[in-house]
Chain A
Amino acid sequence: MSNAPALSLRRRMVGLAGSGTVTTLTLLLFALWVAFAITIGDRFFSVNTLQSMAFQMPELGILSLAMMLALLSGGLNLSIIATANLSGLTIAFLLTHYIPGSQGLAWVGIQVLAIAAGFAVAALVGLLNGFVIAYLGVSPILATLGTMTLCKGIAIGLSRGNVISGFPEPIVFIGNGTVFGVPFALIVLVFCALPVALMLNATPFGAKVYMIGSNEKATRYSGVDTRAVLLKLYVFSSLLAGVAAVVMLARFNSANAAYGESYLLVTILAAVLGGIDPFGGFGKVGGLLLALIILQVISSAFNLLNLSQFLTLAIWGGILIAVAAVPHFAGKAPR
Chain B
Amino acid sequence: MPESRIASFGRFRRSHEFWLLMVILGLCASLGFANAQFLTVQNLFDLLTSYAFVGVLALGLLVVLIAGGIDISFTATASVAQYVTLSLANAYGANWISVFAIAIGIGGALGGLNAIFIQKLRIPSIIVSVATLNIFYGLLIFFTGGKYIYSLPDWFATGIFWFEFEWGKDSSYGINLQILALALAFLVTWLLLNRTNIGRQIYAMGGNADAAQRLGFHIFGLNILVYCYMGVMAGIASLIQAQLAQSVAPTVLVGKELDVVAAVVLGGASLMGGVGTVLGTFLGLTLLAVLQNGIILLGVSSYWSPFFVGLVILISVSATAWSQRERRTRSARR
**Which A positions have Cβ atoms within 8 angstroms of B?**
78, 132, 136-139, 141-143, 145-154, 156-157, 160-161, 261-262, 265-266, 268-269, 272, 278-279, 308, 310-318, 320-321, 324-325, 327-328, 334
Q: How far is the CA of A200 from the CA of B287 in the complex (A)?
A: 40
| B 138-162 contacts with A by CB, 8 A | 138-142, 146
Give the segment of B85-93, B205-213, B315-323 that binds chain A.
Answer: B315-323
Which residues of B lie under 8 Å from residue A142 when comparing CB positions?
Answer: 262, 265-266, 313, 317
Which residues of B lie under 8 Å from residue A314 when comparing CB positions?
Answer: 134-135, 137-139, 142
Q: How far is the CA of A168 from the CA of B135 in the complex (A)?
A: 40
Q: Could you tell me if B310 and A324 are in contact, using CB atoms closer than 8 angstroms?
A: no
Q: Interface readout for B251-293 with A: 1 if CB under 8 Å, 0 if not?
A: 0000100100110011000110000000000000000000000
Q: Is the interface of B mostly helix, strand, loop or mixed?
A: helix
Give the segment of B45-53, B191-199, B301-309 that binds chain A.
Answer: B301-309
- Does chain A have a CB within 8 A of B314? yes
Residue of B117, B138, B301 near A321 (CB, 8 A) is B117
Q: Could you tell me if B131 and A325 are in contact, using CB atoms closer than 8 angstroms?
A: no
Q: How far is the CA of A161 from the CA of B302 in the complex (A)?
A: 11
- Does chain A have a CB within 8 A of B325? yes
Q: How far is the CA of A143 from the CA of B316 in the complex (A)?
A: 10
Which residues of A lie under 8 Å from residue B133 when comparing CB positions?
Answer: 265, 317
Q: Could you tell me if B128 and A321 are in contact, using CB atoms closer than 8 angstroms?
A: yes
Q: How far is the CA of A78 from the CA of B318 in the complex (A)?
A: 17
**Which B positions have Cβ atoms within 8 angstroms of A?**
72, 117, 121-124, 126-128, 130-135, 137-142, 146, 255, 258, 261-262, 265-266, 270-271, 301, 303-311, 313-314, 317-318, 321-322, 324-325
Shortest beta-carbon distance, A167 to chain B, in Å? 24
19 CB contacts below 8 A, A to B, read A132-B314, A136-B318, A136-B321, A139-B271, A149-B307, A150-B310, A153-B311, A157-B304, A308-B142, A310-B137, A313-B134, A318-B131, A320-B130, A320-B134, A324-B121, A324-B124, A325-B117, A325-B121, A327-B122
Shortest beta-carbon distance, B212 to chain A, in Å? 17
Which residues of B lie under 8 Å from residue A265 when comparing CB positions?
Answer: 72, 130, 133-134
Q: Could you tell me if B265 and A153 are in contact, using CB atoms closer than 8 angstroms?
A: no
